Structure 1
Amino acid sequence: MSQQQSRMRVRLTQIRLEANAIASFELRPITTDQPLPAFTAGAHVDVHMPGDRVRSYSLVNDQEERDRYLIAVQHETTGRGGSAWLHTVPRVGMELEIGMPVNDFPLNEAAEDSVFIAGGIGITPILSMIRRLERLGRRWRLYYAARAREHAAFVEPLATLNNDTRVRLFFGSTPDTQMSIQAAVEDAPRDAHFYCCGPRGMLDAFLDATSARPSEQVHFERFGAATEAATTGGFEIELAKSGRRMRVEAGKTMLDVLVENGVPVQYACSAGVCGTCKTAVLGGVPDHRDEYLTDDEKRSNKVVMVCCSGSQTESLCLDL
């Protein structure tokens, strides 16, 4: 996911319950004869909410559709309130502000075989990819896991795409019902491209199972960083533009402290995967905990993701 992009206003035209705690939101142009900007399978849009909150959500629908965007949101009771706001406040007919579509999880349309592995709400970008491959006439297979049938979104549209040989559903975590990612990978042709979107444990298992495959054939999108956010505190952040200093105490992230002190900072995933809160570092050495920055960017210590990273020095000067 990405930095803040140009914004546009859209109208919320439908809210639909897709599974327990998962709702889809259909967004259409304010002016009905004006098509929405094009997107490609795997793309997301940022939804701008009150309180300078920004959340990124994958587009679920067919990329050929220019009259609507469809996103799906899981109500996270332990999150920072973005999903709770969407699940409780907006009503059909309201206008919402969103960013332009951005794709950090693109589909390789030239691949003859594609294997998709999804967990829970991770089905959202993958469903758009499958719809694209259907139009192209490419071969694909989906392995989709959820803790129970009632927590699995979009099972009905998946069933209409083709017969059961291409869609494997796994509900629960018993030996008889649990997905074997290793078996799914071993079953695939050598030139297959693999895609995974899901929780941390699934991503870790996926990367382990595909470790012998060429890296250019392995694609994934994380819900959160592979490592825990830095919350040990014990350092100070300095805001270069105002000279303000703030103490980051144990149990809090830099983002927590910035938000509590009314500092305007854009953020979306709060987990170090989207890039929205990328901030320049003018002094000190960050403790990088994100999955967004490249290894070279981390070594340079010139930028930091304030939502999840900490500091290796007693003070960190930020370009805020």
Structure 2
Amino acid sequence: MKLTVTAARKEPGDVLVIDLKHTRKPLLPPFEPGSHVDVHLPDGKVRQYSLCGDPTDLSRYTIAVKREDVGRGGSAWIHDAVAVGCTLPVSAPRNHFPLAQREGPTVLLAGGIGITPILAMARALERQGKPYKLHYFTRSRALMPLLSVIERELDCSTVWLHFDDEPETREDLEALLSTPSSDAQLYYCGPPGFMAAVDRATAHWPEGTVHFEAFQPPEHNDAPPEPFTITLRDGTVVPVAADTSALAALRAAGVLLMASCENGVCGTCECGILEGQPIHRDAVLSKEARTHRFIPCISRATGVLRLDL
């Protein structure tokens, strides 16, 4: 879709909040909390941004983009070039971070710009009258994006704000997450250090109760990549060199496999595993999905991996 920027405002933490509308259609495709869209940039890059607006207001999509000068260049271009009146090609929403329809309490954790999908979840839970707690962590109040929206739209009794530079607001994640309620569901999103800390603190939570979305794949300090082999359903053999991704090797072999981020965070290129030992490096698949699904843009394998392609 070619959407027009109808509003753009700066938020603390070097974040640009952008409203997007269709010039001809009054309503955009519906989305659920946790959804994201692909934004296609002029140089051919594709970047994923969570929808942080109200899922009941389909007159517009709202995204929030944190400027990352040492990133891959997409956020810097958006900050420098996007203004009211600009047109951006935007995909329909996709959701790899759905909010489960459960009756038990929900715990929402956000670190910095990770508030974007979490805010949509909090809105939905509040509208449904379901119990939830939102814990939002940043280095300081002056760097907390979307705080004014939270204070205006959410019940303050369900929100806890935590700042590194305000000792009275600090919260130890290990203590906060030490005793999970038997029917609680946890959702979290944020920068890599925050994600790793929550992952450690929830290692003892029951399987299926912890859900996350990462903006970057986790760092891997294991041995250098080794070559491996992919086989397809028809028996075609696809060698994958040590310096080549499985996605690139599959494309070179003529496999038409869609991809978007090519960084292991969007799930567009996900496919099935029939046999073999994958080395998962993505930030998308759940523990259960990793038994039979594969993200070829970033993950690898040992020996021979047979894919459902």
Task: Answer yes or no: same fold by TM over 0.5.
Answer: yes
Deviations 1:201-220 (A, max 9, x none): 32233233333333232221
Matching residue within 24, 41, 55 for 1:49: 41
Residue-by-residue CA offset, 1:143-195 (whole Å, 9 max, x unaligned) = 11112222211111111235543211112268655432233234764322211
2:235 maps to what in 1? none
Higher relative contact order (CA 8 A, sep 6+): 1
Of stretches 62-71 and 100-109 in structure 1, the one that deviates more from structure 2 is 100-109
Asked if residue 95 in structure 1 is aligned to residue 87 in structure 2, the reply is yes
Structure 1: distance between partners of 2:178 and 2:151: 24
Q: 1:272·1:289 contact (CA, 8 Å) conserved in 2?
A: yes
Matched AA of 1:148? S
| Per-residue deviation, residues 89-110 of structure 1 (Å, max 9, x unmatched) | 1221122111111111111243
Q: Deviations over 1:259-314 (max 9, x none)?
A: xxxxx996544541212355899xx99754223357798778x96533x345767x
Is structure 2 residue 127 aligned with structure 1 residue 127?
no
> 2:66 matched to which residue of 1?
74
Describe the SS at the equivalent of 2:208: helix
The structure 2 residue matched to 1:27, chosen from 17, 20, 31, is 20
Counterpart of 1:16 (choices 4, 9, 15) is 9
Aligned equivalents of 2:187, 2:157: Cα separation in 1: 18
Distance (whole Å) between structure 2 residues aligned to residue 213 and residue 234 of structure 1: 34
Identity of matched residues, %: 36
Instruction: Out of 177-186 and 132-141, give the one that drifted further.
Output: 177-186
Contact kept? 1:74, 1:83, Cα under 8 Å: yes
Instruction: Report how far residue 81 of structure 1 moved.
Output: 1.2
Aligned-partner SS, 1:42: coil
1:240-251 equivalences in 2 (<5 Å): none
TM-score of the pair, normalised by structure 1: 0.76
Cα gap change, 1:180 to 1:58, in 2 (>3 Å): same
Partner of residue 195, structure 1: 187
2:281 pairs, out of 266, 274, 289, with 289
Q: Which of 175, 189, 211 is matched with 1:219 structurally?
A: 211
**Match among 147, 151, 160 for residue 155 of structure 1:** 147
| CA distance, structure 2, for counterparts of residue 26 and residue 53 of structure 1 | 20
Kindly report which structure 2 residues correspond to 1:161-176, keeping only aligned pairs within 5 A, or say none: 161-162=153-154, 164-172=156-164
Is this contact kept in 2: 1:54–1:266, CA < 8 A?
no
Native 8 Å contact 2:54 2:120 kept in 1? yes
Deviation at 1:247, TM superposition (A): 7.8
Q: Is the 8 A contact 1:223 1:271 kept in 2?
A: no
**Cα distance between partner residues in 2 of 1:229 and 1:82:** 26
Rounded to whole Å, the distance in 2 between the matches of 1:138 and 1:298 is 31
Instruction: Report the count of equivalent residues.
Output: 300
For the pair 1:305 / 2:296, whether they are aligned, the reply is yes
Correspondence for 2:177 among 160, 181, 185: 185
Counterpart position of 2:130: 138
1:153 maps to a residue whose letter is P
Q: Which amino acid is 1:166 matched to?
A: T
**Mapped contact 2:106–2:133 kept (Cα < 8 A):** yes
CA spacing shift, 1:290–1:60, aligned 2, 3 Å: same
Matches within 5 A, 1:94-113: 94-113=86-105
Residues 114 and 312 of structure 1, relative CA distance in 2, 3 Å threshold = closer
TM-score, normalised to structure 2's length? 0.78
Q: Flag the 1:94–1:143 CA change in 2: closer, same or farther, 3 A.
A: same
* 1:254 CA displacement: 4.3
SS of the residue corresponding to residue 65 of structure 2 reads strand
C-alpha contact (below 8 Å) 1:52/1:266 kept by paired residues = no
AA aligned to 2:173 is I
